Structure formats: C-alpha cells, structure tokens
C-alpha cells in the first residue's frame, strides 16, 4: 500500500499551524476513505524541543525551524533506507520553503524510487515585503527558491496574485491554485453580540503597518481599536474578540491570501482592506478602499481624512452590510479556504 507523507510545519498554538497539525491529516484520511483509495497517511514531525516563541514579527523562529526541519530530514532519509518509502508515494509539504525537499528529490532519483512532491507556498524572497525579501539580497536565495520549485512536482498557491508574484521571479510551469485546508474555521468562528470594536488581527511587523492603525485610533476615540498582538491572546480568546468586532482592518503591504480578514467575515465583521495584493481578487468592492490611501505612512497622512470617514461610515451603518458579509464569507470559503482542488489533483494524477 502506498503512503501520503505529510511533512508539516512546526505548530504554534496561536497560528494556524497549530490547527493544521491535526486537521490536514484528518482531511486527507477522510478523502482517502470516502473515495475508497488505498493509501496510508503518516505525518513527518520534527523535534519539538525548539524555542516556543517566534522571532519578533515573524511567523516562526528562524533558528528553531531549522532544528525542526533537520530532524524531519533524518526521519525521511531513514524511511528511504528501510524501504518504507515506496515508488508512487506522495509527499505533501505544508510549507514549500523547506530545504529537505532538495534532499528528498536527491534520494528519490538516485535510489530509483519515484515519488510525487506537492508543496504549499506561503512567501519567500520573491516578495520584497517578506522577511526573506527584505533581509536577504544575495543571489543564493533566488537560486535556491528556483531549485525548490523545480524539484517540486506541484507548486500550490492560494491566490492568483501569489502565482503572478512568484512567476515574476521564477519562470516555472508547474504551478497550481487551490484553497488552503482551512474548512474547520467555519465551525470555530461565530459572531457574538457586536461592540464598536475595530480589530487589527495581524502580526506586528513592518509590512503590516500597525502604526497606521494606532493613528486611526487617535482620530476615532469613540470606537475601541484593538491590536491583537498587544495582548497574548489564546486562540479561543482571539476568536471571541473577532466575534465582538464590527470591523477588521488591514493596511498590509504583503498578503498572499489573508486568513485573518476571512476570519473576520466568518465572525460577521466588515473586513476593510486595501485594493491590492490578494485582497483585490477576493473581496467585494464595498469592502475595499483605494490602495494609495495606505501605500506608506506618508500616503496615509495625505488620505487620512477619507479613511477615517470610511471607518466611521462602516461602523455606523454596520447592519446594512450583513448580507454582503455573509455572501462573501461563503464565496471565500469555496474558492480560497477549501483544499478540494489539491486533493483532487493529488489522487488523480
């Protein structure tokens, strides 16, 4: 019997990686069972004895993630040498920026054990607003990313914007779009009794422009502006905050999908986003403001008055847009937050 090997990303309880730890194996097992397919499913986890905290402003710990991935490689290599990996097996990487992909391809080809590699791209050096794009300008990183994309059989992206951004740097053909495996969010996030809250649910990082949000709070003191990362919220506390908020705000300069704004819609909050990045293809016109209003802090200062008025308008007329919020939440669930296309391709190659 063949096997699906899930090479996961280390789990952080306050990130979706904590939820993916259990959800992705379960959704793949359910698909296999429902379609009568003969595949076992195994998760290749790394050592968990790594720093719990993320590098400030980042998604993970830049040192700890390499401890995790290196131990994953040890397990994969041993599985090859013991005969556990068989021709026709599938490897699914929940994060494509993983150097073990190169080592996996090396073993597969030199040992004559053909496998298929699927990988989900989240960000990289090809995005100037990502950590890898901002902090590393050396040529090696672009060459390495291209090698990853060429070694991977199926490079998966969650939005057309992300595919276009990637292909501006890396000219490869084996790119595909699917929603991310986040079907579970519909059951986890529910609207609560609404309060006059504007929520900033993003990481505190340069590309998220939290300073714009903090200045907006000064302009609209009649409303409560909350930066989630100012408090160490648990996942359930975060969901509760979403449930109470009327508006979720973004001024992001980097976004290849935008999970938190989708979570806002599920909580029946108005997701107020700039008309750029992945947001442009995802959100209804009524929820998008002109990109130039927040392209920089200087640009924000020039357009501050209009943005303040827009937030005040959506706060005072919140109930008038409930139907559009619910409609957009359903559409985004189907198109961007369901992994049906990934599963279909994985098992029907």
How confident is the model at residue 54, as a pLDDT?
Answer: 54
How confident is the model at residue 155, as a pLDDT?
Answer: 98
Domain made up of 185-334: CATH architecture: 3-Layer(aba) Sandwich (3.40)
pLDDT 10s digits, 179-223:
999 999 999 999 999 999 999 999 999 999 999 999 999 999 999
> Structural domain boundaries of the chain?
2-181+339-346, 185-334
Q: Which residues contact 147 (CB under 8 A, 6 or more apart)?
A: 102
Beta strands in 78-160 (DSSP E): 90-93, 116-120, 154-157
Q: Which position has the higher pLDDT, 335 or 15?
A: 335
The whole-angstrom separation of Cα 242 and Cα 265 is 9
Domain made up of 2-181+339-346: CATH architecture: 3-Layer(aba) Sandwich (3.40)
How confident is the model at residue 11, as a pLDDT?
Answer: 80
Q: Are the folds of 2-181+339-346 and 185-334 the same?
A: yes
Q: Does the structure show a pLDDT above 80 at 59?
A: no
pTM of the model: 0.91
- Long-range own/partner contacts, residues 22-28 (CB < 8 A, 24 or more apart): 23/181, 23/182, 23/183, 23/184, 24/92, 24/94, 24/181, 27/181, 27/183, 27/339, 27/343, 28/4, 28/92, 28/343
Q: Does the structure show a pLDDT above 60 at 58?
A: no
The whole-angstrom separation of Cα 248 and Cα 315 is 11
Q: What average pLDDT does range 72-84 have in this prediction?
A: 97
Least trusted range by pLDDT, from 40-54, 137-151, 166-180, 290-304: 40-54
Q: Does the structure show a pLDDT above 50 at 57?
A: no
Residue 32 CA, distance from chain mean position: 24
Percent of the chain with pLDDT over 90: 85
pLDDT 10s digits, 120-130:
999 999 998 88
């Amino acid at each position: 019997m063949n096997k699906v090997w899930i090479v996961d990303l280390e789990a952080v309880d306050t990130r979706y990686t904590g939820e993916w730890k259990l959800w992705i194996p379960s959704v793949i097992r359910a698909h296999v069972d429902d379609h009568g397919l003969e595949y076992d499913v195994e998760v290749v986890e790394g050592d968990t004895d790594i720093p719990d905290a993320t590098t400030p402003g980042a998604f993970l710990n830049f040192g700890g993630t390499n401890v995790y991935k290196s131990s994953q490689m040890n397990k994969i290599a041993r599985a090859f040498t013991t005969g556990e990996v068989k021709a026709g097996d599938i490897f699914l990487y929940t994060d494509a920026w993983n150097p073990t992909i190169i080592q996996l391809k090396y073993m597969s080809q030199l040992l004559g054990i053909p496998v298929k590699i699927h990988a989900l791209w989240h960000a990289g050096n090809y995005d100037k607003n990502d950590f890898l794009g901002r902090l590393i300008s050396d040529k090696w990183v672009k060459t390495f990313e291209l090698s990853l994309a060429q070694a991977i059989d199926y490079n998966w992206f969650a939005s057309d914007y992300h595919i276009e951004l990637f292909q501006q740097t890396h000219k490869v053909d084996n790119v595909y779009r699917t929603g991310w495996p986040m079907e579970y969010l519909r059951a986890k996030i529910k609207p609560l009794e609404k309060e006059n809250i504007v929520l900033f649910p993003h990481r505190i990082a340069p590309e998220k422009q939290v300073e714009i949000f903090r200045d907006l709070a000064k302009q609209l003191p009649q409303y409560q502006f909350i930066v989630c990362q100012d408090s160490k919220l648990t996942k359930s506390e975060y969901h509760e905050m979403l449930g109470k908020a009327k508006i979720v705000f973004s001024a992001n300069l980097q976004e290849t999908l935008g999970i938190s704004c989708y979570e806002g819609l599920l909580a029946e909050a108005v997701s107020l986003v700039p008309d750029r990045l992945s947001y442009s293809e995802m959100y209804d016109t009524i929820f998008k403001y002109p990109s130039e209003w927040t392209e920089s802090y200087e640009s924000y200062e020039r357009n501050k008055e209009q943005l303040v008025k827009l937030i005040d308008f959506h706060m005072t007329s919140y109930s008038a847009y409930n139907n559009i919020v619910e409609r957009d939440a359903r559409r985004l669930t189907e198109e961007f937050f369901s992994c049906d296309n990934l599963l279909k391709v994985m098992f029907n190659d």
